[in-house]
Amino acid sequence: MPEKKREKDLTIAEKLYIPEIVKGLGLTLKSMFRPKFTMEYPEVKFIPPASYRGRPVLVQEESGTERCVACGLCSRVCPSLAIEVQASETSLEKERYPVKFEINMLRCIFCGFCEEVCPEEAIVMSKDYELVFRDRSEAIYGKDKLMVPIRQVEDRIEFLRNFK
Amino acid sequence: MPKITINGQELEFKAGQTVIEVARQNGISVPHFCWHPALSVSGNCRMCLVEIEKMPKLAIACSTLASDGMVVHVDSEKAVSARNAVMEFLLINHPLDCPVCDQAGECKLQDYAYRYSSGESRFEEEKQHNKKRVELGPFVMFDAERCISCSRCIRFCDEIAGDKELTFTKRGDRVTISTYPGEELDNPYSLNTTDICPVGALTSRDFRFKARVWDMSKTNSICTGCARGCNDEIWVKNNIVLRLTPRFNKEVNSYWMCDEGRLNTFKFINNQRVDGPHIRRNGQIVKTGYDEAVAFTVSQLKAYNPGEIAFLGSAFASCEDNYMLAKLAKGTLHVKNIDFARHLIPGSADGILICDDKAPNSLGAELSGVKPAPEGLNFEGILEGINSGKIKVLYCLEDDIAAMSPEYENTLSKLDFLVVHATNHNATTVLADVIFPAAAFAEKNGTMVNFQGRLQRLKPAVATIDMDRSLEGMEMSRLDKFGTDFDKWAKKNRVDARASWKMLQTVGSLMGLKMKHQISEEVFADMASCIEAFHGLDYDVIGESGIKIKVNNTAKATK
């Protein structure tokens, strides 16, 4: 029976392994003198670029009110049924506002559809990726946790205007 | 028969029909805003422009009479471009309010903008601005910017409600609707204008911003506000009824329903419900279990002679409930004193929809067997009997007798034992010794008979604690369908209540009633076999729009 030809037969040097180990160690040694990409989280925080999709937040205007008009489109488009909105009437020009706005962060999949569908640029994906809860009810974020001053999300809104 | 050709289809029609009517009855859609099948032709929206051969210009399908040999093209190039132009004109001053507009999702302008408009606006100037929140009447909110001046609301008030309240004012792009000086849009049918408004110009103040239409489920049912039994749709979100809207039924209510029925017949379902059975213990009404409440009731009923017991059915309960009550009273306990309270307000009928009889099922209660047996006492007789001490026990189905007059309240307080099936805590339940929680009309299957002798279906739109929306075949909203059982909206807002016939059957089964029905359809099949008026009927035959039954002379209808 003829000897079966492998896809690649190892050379003697390879069979010895030692040159390969030396090669690997050389790569490690080289990397030690290259610039570092890791950071010492949580002491050092990673600040993502504007294109990053962190937890969705509601934009709070300078006046302190939310931009949201409670149209419910984010709730409609949400593929994981994470968003619940209840509208109510306000005397402001926008006529309606969300009296209740809840996102179940256990359900949220950070797809960004809510932000994409929003006609008012009222819900945007923030840079916040640190989501910690000790029980499930804590994971339901109400307006108190969702509202973020517009200053903090300006670069995301800018990003959306350019690329949405 | 004369023939017309629309979109290449040769169609027969009756003389006097317009092109849009012929098209519609043959399933060809001609887009329209101002035309409404129940209103006069106005012809001002220009949306239904169609091309008719041998006519020099496009013609509007709503006011052009069909004639023999006419050849109509709804979707020809000329017609389509004319429609695009009309849409562009209408959208010039229409604000982009869809996110904040209650009509979104059921808006003709929105639908047609997707279907027929070119999708782009060439209008670069400032839109005409107008008043946004005008309270035209107690129930109707008007947004002048959204109005496309179709005049449907004006024609509705003039022709259907018979109360001229609305008119156009100003001209050109400033045209708007307004009430006449000193008038309000307050006719008893004013909310129908919000249904027929093709855009969000007229919206309901009661329903304002409560929910988006795509988040609700809608269930075909009937209104229980009076003996008319207008066909309606029950809109539910998170197991809460949010609004009722009329459903077309040529024989009963056409396209309309009254404001009273629309606003005031469902709110009791959401508030102050009797949640679980209650019994009186040491003078206090306390919540208890079904078994204990039933056992207590049975022991008390057994302790009295049939002559000392009276049963009251209800014109608010379904035929099935009344039938089971009659079976329990007459068939099992041999009680002859059985009747129900009438809720007539003579002179309140208006010749449009509203009836004198304020209860939805007076005729059905009587047909189901709730009437005094020979030598039995009728309603007045029962109350007199209680006053004189002859009647000591009263079994009362879903009716607030004590609230009818202080005199009745006083009478009921003299009873030894009062059992009440009730949906809500009310004046009668305060006096009761046992309260069974009753499923409301929107929580059960059932039938009712309106004043015309038309048997119509009730369907569950709201789930009680023991119901499963998909297993019961109930209508489901998006959230109901795609959510899970442990979502917070899945099991919230549910009441522990049962259809009265089920409770009555349980009570009766301990006293010799031989019935083991599982669903209300079986109860109805039972009724159909032994009540002449229901002979040969079942839920499928009744269908969505009800069926006229033969009512003999003893059961007299009161409009």
Q: Is B215 on the interface with A (CB under 8 A)?
A: yes
Q: What angle do CA B117, B122, B123 make, to 5 degrees?
A: 110
Of B104, B208, B483, the CB nearest to A89: B208
Q: Is A103 on the interface with B (CB under 8 A)?
A: no
Average pLDDT over residues B276-282: 95
- A60 band by pLDDT with thresholds 50, 70 and 90: very high
pTM of the model: 0.92
Is residue B269 predicted with pLDDT exceeding 90? yes
DSSP B424: B
Answer whether A72 sits within 8 Å of B208, measured CB to CB: no
- CA A119 to CA A122: how far, in whole Å? 8
- The model's pLDDT over B210-224, given as tens digits with 9 standing for 90+, comes to 999 999 999 999 999
Strand ranges of the sheet holding B454-458, from the earlier edge strand across to the other edge: B446-449, B454-458, B547-548
Answer whether B212 sits within 8 Å of A120, measured CB to CB: no
Tokens representing B380 are 């007045």
**CA within 13 Å, CB half, B94:** 22
* Residue of chain B whose alpha carbon sits nearest to that of A94: B100
Of A84, A89, A120, the CB nearest to B209: A89
What CATH number does the domain located at A56-163 have? 3.30.70.3270
Q: Between β-strands B166-169 and B176-179, what pairing exists: parallel, antiparallel or unpaired?
A: antiparallel
Torsion sign across C-alpha atoms B412, B418, B423, B427:
positive
Answer whether A69 sits within 8 Å of B487, measured CB to CB: no
- CA B456 to CA B547: how far, in whole Å? 7
Of A73, A81, A89, the CB nearest to B99: A73
Q: Between β-strands A56-60 and A147-149, what pairing exists: parallel, antiparallel or unpaired?
A: parallel
Average pLDDT over residues A109-134: 95
Chain B contacts of A76, Cβ < 8 Å? 212, 214-215, 478
Is residue B552 predicted with pLDDT exceeding 80? no
Is residue A28 predicted with pLDDT exceeding 60? yes
Chain B contacts of A88, Cβ < 8 Å? 209
Disruptive mutation site among A66, A67, A68, A76 for chain B (greatest number of B CBs within 10 Å): A76
Is residue B556 predicted with pLDDT exceeding 90? no
Answer whether A96 sits within 8 Å of B479, measured CB to CB: no
Chain A contacts of B208, Cβ < 8 Å? 89
Q: What is the pLDDT of residue B282?
A: 92
- CA B192 to CA A25: how far, in whole Å? 82
Q: What is the pLDDT of residue B88?
A: 92
Of B338, B328, B334, the closest CA to residue B394 belongs to B338
Answer whether A81 sits within 8 Å of B479, measured CB to CB: yes
Q: Is A121 on the interface with B (CB under 8 A)?
A: no
* Residue of chain B whose alpha carbon sits nearest to that of A137: B488
- A2 band by pLDDT with thresholds 50, 70 and 90: low
Is residue B253 predicted with pLDDT exceeding 60? yes
**Dihedral over alpha carbons B52, B53, B58, B59 (to 10 degrees):** -40
Chain A contacts of B209, Cβ < 8 Å? 70, 87-89, 96
Average pLDDT, chain B: 93
CB B421 within 8 A of CB B399: no
Rounded to 5, what percent of chain B is helix, strand, coil? 30, 20, 50
Smallest CA–CA distance, residue A74 to chain B, in Å, is 11
Is residue A1 predicted with pLDDT exceeding 80? no
- A63 band by pLDDT with thresholds 50, 70 and 90: very high
- The model's pLDDT over B119-132, given as tens digits with 9 standing for 90+, comes to 888 999 999 999 99
Domain-by-domain residue ranges, chain A?
56-163
Of B215, B482, B487, the CB nearest to A72: B215
Under 8 Å CB-to-CB from B491, ≥6 apart: which residues? B485
Of B329, B344, B345, the closest CA to residue B377 belongs to B329
Residue with the two structure tokens 């249904």: B195
Disruptive mutation site among A86, A103, A136 for chain B (greatest number of B CBs within 10 Å): A86
- The model's pLDDT over B63-74, given as tens digits with 9 standing for 90+, comes to 999 999 999 999
Answer whether A96 sits within 8 Å of B212, measured CB to CB: no
Q: Is A77 on the interface with B (CB under 8 A)?
A: no
Neighbours of B227 (CB within 10 A): 28
- CA B307 to CA B287: how far, in whole Å? 30
Neighbouring-strand partners of residue B311: B338, B395
Q: Is A70 on the interface with B (CB under 8 A)?
A: yes
Q: Is B214 on the interface with A (CB under 8 A)?
A: yes
CB B459 within 8 A of CB B221: yes
